[in-house]
Structure formats: C-alpha cells, structure tokens
Amino acid sequence: MNADYAARLVSLTTAHIADACIRVDIPVRCAPAGTRPLAAGARVAGRVLPARHAGSVDVFLEAFEHAREGDVLVVDNGGRTDQACIGDLVVAEAKAAGVAGLLVWGLHRDTADILAIGLPVFSLGAIPTGPLELAPRDSQALTSARVGEHTVSTGDVVLADDDGAVFLPDDRVAEILDVADGICDAERRQAERIRSGNILRQQVEFASFLDNRKRNANLTFREHLRTVGGAIEE
C-alpha cells in the first residue's frame, strides 16, 4: 500500500471503510469488539505485518527483519486474556523498525511506558503478567495472523481507530477508498444540515419512504437511501 492510500485511510473512520466494503460487496472483516487503542483518538493504517505469538518475543523480532516502513504489526495471541504478549520493549523495537503501530488479538502490559513511546497500540486490554508458557511455533507464524474469526496476511491492509479495526484486501483499497470518501462527504453534509435545522427525516425524505413501502412491502430503507443520496447505513 502506498503512502497516499495510507494518508487517505487515516482521514476516514473504520465505520466509513466498513460501510464502503458493504457497498462494493466485499466481506466486512473487523477485529473483535473490545479492540481499542491505549490512547484515545489514536489511529493507524498500513499493510498487515503478521506474527503468531507462541510465548516468546523472537517471532516479533523476526517479523521486524522483514518490515516495510508504515507496516502495522498484527499479533495473533489467540485472543487470550490470561497473559500479555507484548510490552514496551517490543513496541520500542517496532518504532525503531519503522512500523506504524500494533494491533494485538490479545493483551498488552507496560501501559505507561508504551504511551510514552507514542506508537499507536490496539489490544483487548492490559494485564501485568507476560507469557505463561512456550508453545510449538506455528508454521504460518510470519505469513498470517488470526484476529477473531478472520485470518489476515501481508495481502491485507488494516485501519484502526477508537471503534476498533477493519481489514481490507490490498488489491481493492483504491476502490474502497473512493466509495468511503463519498460516504464520508455525504455524512458530513447531512450532519451540517441537521445543525442548520434541516432534520434527517426531511433530508432522506422519510415520509416518502413510508408511503412507498405501503405500495411495495419489500422496499428497504437502504434502497431508498441510494435513490436520495443518503449515507446513514452504508
């Protein structure tokens, strides 16, 4: 993913991107609910740099050997909530390697020190204890990572913000961005009009939708929105 795409991504929200995926018929792949940044307002976008944790930091150090500037380290720790798999040293090393941020399917520790480093980190939360045991290393440890029900790889891009994280295929980024930009612009205009006194029901011609639905019970609100240029749901 080039720098221009990364800049455009971070100017949008995960909600815009998720809605755009629906619009262009791409499966929406989100990190599990509860994935949040350590620092409120943090945002990061970049190519996925996958790593499957097995109880030792060596997998992260090896991933950094192959990192590209602006990558996002996506850590698969199986969603475990009994141990942290990354701490301040891994985050500091990630920053030194040019990584743009970290997304962890699991927990972190050393919160204060990580915040001082200033690199965006997203996880399911914090716990004091580190890895509790070593496990056999997965054969896919550096080629893919599981995040909830989804498996992602270097062929994917991630955007994360206060709402969580969403993954999209690298070869569809341009298409998704164009649609997401349109959704963002439409929502911004609608919000400005609400503040000016033109309520949303008027903007989306909701009374007309209700009348049309009486004549066509199969008419959906999304279909109606597309005819009037609304951007509430997707």
7-55 pLDDT, tens digit each: 899 999 999 999 999 999 999 999 999 999 999 999 999 999 999 999 9
H or E element, residue 87:
none
Q: In this structure, what token pair is assigned to residue 35? A: 């994935």
- The alpha carbon dihedral of 8, 1, 101, 69 has a sign of negative
Spell out a b/e string for 113-129, using b for 16 or more CB atoms within 10 Å of the CB, else e.
Answer: ebeeeebbbbbbeebee
Annotated domain spans of the chain: 3-170, 176-228
Binding site listing for Mg(2+): 110
123-132 pLDDT, tens digit each: 999 999 999 9
Binding site listing: 87-90, 109-110
pLDDT of 234 strictly over 50: no
- The pTM is what? 0.89
Which pLDDT does position 229 carry in this prediction?
Answer: 66
Q: What are phi and psi of 103, to 5 degrees?
A: -125, 120
Q: Which residues contact 144 (CB under 8 A, 6 or more apart)?
A: 50, 52, 151, 152, 153
Binding site listing for substrate: 87-90, 109
CATH architecture of 3-170: 3-Layer(bba) Sandwich (3.50)
Report the mean per-residue pLDDT for the chain.
94
